[in-house]
Structure 1
Amino acid sequence: MSRIQPLRDEDVVDRIGADLRSAGYTTDGVADLLGDTANEALGRGIWWPALHATAAGAAANARLSSLVRLFLLGADEPETAVAEAFPSVTVDVLVDNGVLERTDAGEVRAALDIRPHADDAREYLVVSDQDAAMRSGPVARDHVLGIGGASISLARAVIRAPARRVLDIGTGCGIQALHLDAHSDEIVATDTNARALALAAATARLNGMRWDLRQGSLFDPVAGERFDLIVSNPPFVVGAGEQDYIYRDSGVAGDALCAELIRRIPEHLNPGGTAQILANWIVPTDAEWTERVRGWLAGTGLDAWVVQRELADPVSYIALWLSDAGESSEAVAQRGAQWLDWFTESDIAGIGMGLITLRRRIDGEAGEPDQVVEEITGAGEEVTGHEAEAFLARRHYLRTTTDAQLLAARLSTAPIFLEEQSLPGEQGWQQVSATVRRPGGPAAVLGVDEVSRALLAGCRGEVPLAALIELLADFHGVDADALAEAALPVVREAIGRGILYQAT
């Protein structure tokens, strides 16, 4: 049974926000209170240095110390200290609104997770349920996740171009909507979980935002509507179809929810609009993972960039999702065994995890959908919004630029490194391969030989590509047309990876 929805009183939310801000409950305020060592440790999930730091800092800022212990460390606090931390609202009202709860020992503990969060633009306050590490026993079926690695990855990957209407499917506590607010005129956020919508409403109000919150699955709450941007961090966990926890389990078997989400996006995306989805997909024992995801894209008419960031074996995948629910060892063992049996019976070799970026073409754009499906797992090669936007722009440039136009273009080389691999031999070090790499670019690496190295070095935006090729052809004593035919695929690949670009 779902719990009574928290923070029903908007006036209470406003007073909570005012009290938190007046106490300095921000990312910088918490960092200053804890100090570098304890704050960095807390970011890695090590809580006891922060507890020690709040005790030491209580004299300087007792209110902030109490708030940190309550909401960030899950500690029990004396009621008098909590009353001082919230001068504008009583403890009784906070308990009634589901923010706090009283313990048998006569103290008070947080029933919700309220924490500061920041990006390059501003500070936020985010309301969610406390995770299993903060409480004893399993989380509730309608548990609402807070800020996590997946939600931050998606937020960083979203293209931040101005948009009139945006849709956040599976909003949870509202992390994506928070970041969408800075560049969107209207935000519609949906979730099947009524508790999630209640906490998202509180998150929005604490941050002075207004979102159109609707309950329902996938696109059901927005039937007939279109958007310029769609984002989603859905309950994508691959399993037999149970729905033990709403935040992770879709209630449909396998990866069917993600497949359905992709299938329905075209009817809700404006021409020129984009969609960015976190997804998990089944990797069968007898097929490539790319085949499955390409099957999702078939018939959509959408341009796509699918990036698999991780591939997990069944045991690792199951362990990952069983670890955050707070269940007993016996329950974990039983559920894990059943889950693993289902994977075996379904001939699943592993689960792919990654990001899908989609674009609906503007009316009149010709050609077949441009769909790139690849694995990029390197550290520091995560997809960012800037890289996703640039990737789509580069693919459009390559589709709409003929070889003749490319030869006439003046190209520049992005900041890149030349990396050479050599082996020791009888004549000393002998080079066996060479690559150029654009730091920070997802898969922005290209193998080069002597000629392509020289070509890249010569691309300074000063002369047409054809002129550079003619110079190289003369130097090496080869036919210029033949060299151009061989060089153009390399040039196109370099443009596609952001290593080359047309100078303006």
Structure 2
Amino acid sequence: MADGRRAQPCADLGVVERLAAALRSAGFTTTGIEDHLGAEVGAALTGGVSWPAVAVVGDDSPLSTLIAVLLLGHARPVDRLAAALPGVEVAELVEQGIVELVDDQVIPLLDVRPYADDAGEYYVFADQDSGRRSGALAEDHVLGIGGASISLARAVIRRPFPRALDLGTGCGVQALHLGAHCSDVVGTDTNERALCLAAATARASGQSWDLRRGSLFEPIAGETFDLIVSNPPFVVSGGDQDYIYRDSGMPADALCARLIAELPDHLNPGGMATVLANWVVTDRDDWPARPREWLAGTGLDAWVVQRELADPISYVSLWLADAGESPERSAARGRKWLDYFERAGIVAIGMGVLTLRRPFDPTAGPRFQIVEEITGAGEEVTGDEALAFFDRQDFLADHSDEELLDLRLATAPVILDEQSMLGESGWQTIGSVIRRPGGPGAALVVDEVSRALVAGCRGQVPLADLVALLAAHHGVDADALARAAMPVVREAIARGILFAAV
């Protein structure tokens, strides 16, 4: 760890509120910054590439000054920052731990940036990442907006919920999204600094959350929610807690295992949860073993999607680079980390998202628990796709094969991909896959018969009639073909390729 824990920032939320108002007046918004920098440079900055923006903000304009200080982490003269923020004293920002003064220069301590979604425009307060400051991160470092937080935000089901919990809120990114569609938002974290910055994020963004300090479900003991989201400190290690934002202090994936085990007690019937997690893999051929072990006995319906499977060196390297430590310190920590993996028999680490639901009738047990790998670009789990996936699984659970045969099924907009091999008689098809564009894992391997069956589903005649026509064409028994076809039909419905016509 670097410089330990520091004085807590943003204690006076009145200053935060006035700062946010001054930033809005100066055009320090997502659209204002993009207009000032240009679309390409703005997109690069959003993606973490800052050097194109440096040349653009070399002038003395208020917006350039704000971008340089609050986004790029650069020093600027005191009078320039004061001119950019009328109504806010630089001394107040120093007192609140947002900036510091060195001679006549303002040095930023926090990352303050605008953030927008379909519901509104916000300001997020966090610590500067390792790319914007020298030296290693502090133990109580609070992450800002990053790839993991954005992935989680996209994966959460966005429908109205009465009460939501953001477990491990950090700087409050998930709580911001929850505030747009949930009546009551509770955020928890073990890191007091994170709660201070989350409170600043909420006030600057015009929201109000119930923020509580504590580990896992301890701060909300005995309470239940309709939606729970969590981006916990899931990093798999030997149990050290070098950085609060990533290290739980528990060995391996014990924190995620405990989170999933305790989750059902805090979900209302029908309540949903979306959790980012990492899990240990001791056999690459059976990577789903650990998530399935977590789910066993929970009674939760579940869709677990592994997005990446990392080898130990790649995994450790990722987190060492994130901390900004010296090469010598990184090498020593990395060696210790890899030694632990070897002793524990960990050959890989799975990374992904769990979408979970407590059934309306918990005594009936889970309707489904599906664990799969979906790694394709553009196939990330989204809230809309997760909700549709659960709806389709419910539909399948509610309909027997006989009932499905009586239905008129239709085909979603799909693409047929074929693989062919050149033979003596020309090109011969050796494989066919039907894909629904934009759907995670929305692919169905088909043969000649199942391909024709899917093509025939136009919502006009019952499935049984289509099967009978195909059976007659191929000279086979209709009942036998129906039995063979139903697993393919069910998979096609599960993937959103087929659906019941109205």
The TM-score range, normalised by the shorter chain, is: over 0.9
Please name the residue that 2:478 is paired with. 480
Please name the residue that 1:43 is paired with. 46
8 Å Cα contact 1:255-1:281 kept in structure 2: yes
- CA separation of 1:287 and 1:424: change in aligned 2, threshold 3 A: closer
Q: 1:9 aligns with which of 9, 12, 17?
A: 12
RMSD: 1.3
Please name the residue that 1:31 is paired with. 34
Moved more, 359-368 or 347-356: 359-368
8 Å Cα contact 1:243-1:251 kept in structure 2: yes
Q: CA deviation at 1:353?
A: 0.3
Please name the residue that 1:163 is paired with. 161
Please name the residue that 2:465 is paired with. 467
Q: 2:287 aligns with which of 289, 310, 313?
A: 289
Q: CA deviation at 1:475?
A: 2.0
Please name the residue that 1:217 is paired with. 215
| Cα deviation code 1:416-442 (max 9, x no counterpart) | 100110011111211111110011111
Q: Which amino acid aligns with 1:6?
A: P
Q: CA deviation at 1:42?
A: 2.0
Q: CA deviation at 1:471?
A: 1.7
Q: CA deviation at 1:55?
A: 2.3
Q: Secondary structure at the match of 1:432?
A: strand
**Separation in structure 2 between the aligned mates of residue 367 and residue 154 of structure 1, nearest angstrom:** 27
Please name the residue that 2:338 is paired with. 340
Q: Secondary structure at the match of 1:243?
A: coil
Residue 91 (structure 1) aligned with residue 90 (structure 2): yes
**Separation in structure 1 between the aligned mates of residue 441 and residue 161 of structure 2, nearest angstrom:** 28
**Separation in structure 2 between the aligned mates of residue 306 and residue 415 of structure 1, nearest angstrom:** 25
Map residues 196-275 of structure 1 onto 2, 5 A cutoff.
196-275=194-273
Q: 1:456 aligns with which of 454, 457, 479?
A: 454
**Separation in structure 1 between the aligned mates of residue 168 and residue 33 of structure 2, nearest angstrom:** 29
**Separation in structure 1 between the aligned mates of residue 138 and residue 77 of structure 2, nearest angstrom:** 26
Q: CA deviation at 1:117?
A: 1.1
Q: Which amino acid aligns with 1:14?
A: E
Q: CA deviation at 1:359?
A: 0.7
Q: CA deviation at 1:301?
A: 0.6
Q: Secondary structure at the match of 1:51?
A: helix
Where does the alignment leave 5 or more consecutive residues of structure 2 unmatched?
A: none
Q: Which amino acid aligns with 2:421?
A: L
Q: CA deviation at 1:37?
A: 2.9
Q: Which amino acid aligns with 2:13?
A: E
User: What's the % identity of the aligned pairs?
Assistant: 61
Map residues 369-408 of structure 1 onto 2, 5 A cutoff.
369-408=367-406
Please name the residue that 1:113 is paired with. 111
8 Å Cα contact 2:453-2:466 kept in structure 1: yes
**Separation in structure 2 between the aligned mates of residue 23 and residue 286 of structure 1, nearest angstrom:** 53
Where does the alignment leave 5 or more consecutive residues of structure 1 unmatched?
A: none
**Separation in structure 1 between the aligned mates of residue 451 and residue 336 of structure 2, nearest angstrom:** 55
Please name the residue that 2:275 is paired with. 277
**Separation in structure 1 between the aligned mates of residue 374 and residue 357 of structure 2, nearest angstrom:** 20
8 Å Cα contact 2:359-2:366 kept in structure 1: no
8 Å Cα contact 1:35-1:53 kept in structure 2: no
Q: Which amino acid aligns with 1:119?
A: D
**Separation in structure 2 between the aligned mates of residue 215 and residue 40 of structure 1, nearest angstrom:** 35
Q: Secondary structure at the match of 1:486?
A: helix
Q: CA deviation at 1:369?
A: 4.2
Please name the residue that 1:81 is paired with. 80
8 Å Cα contact 2:284-2:348 kept in structure 1: no
8 Å Cα contact 1:417-1:438 kept in structure 2: yes
Moved more, 41-50 or 111-120: 41-50
**Separation in structure 1 between the aligned mates of residue 476 and residue 365 of structure 2, nearest angstrom:** 35
Q: CA deviation at 1:477?
A: 2.1
Q: Secondary structure at the match of 2:433?
A: strand
Please name the residue that 2:327 is paired with. 329
Runs of 4+ deviating beyond 6 Å: none
**Separation in structure 2 between the aligned mates of residue 359 and residue 339 of structure 1, nearest angstrom:** 34
Matched residue count: 499
| Cα deviation code 1:430-474 (max 9, x no counterpart) | 111111001111111111111111111111111111111122222
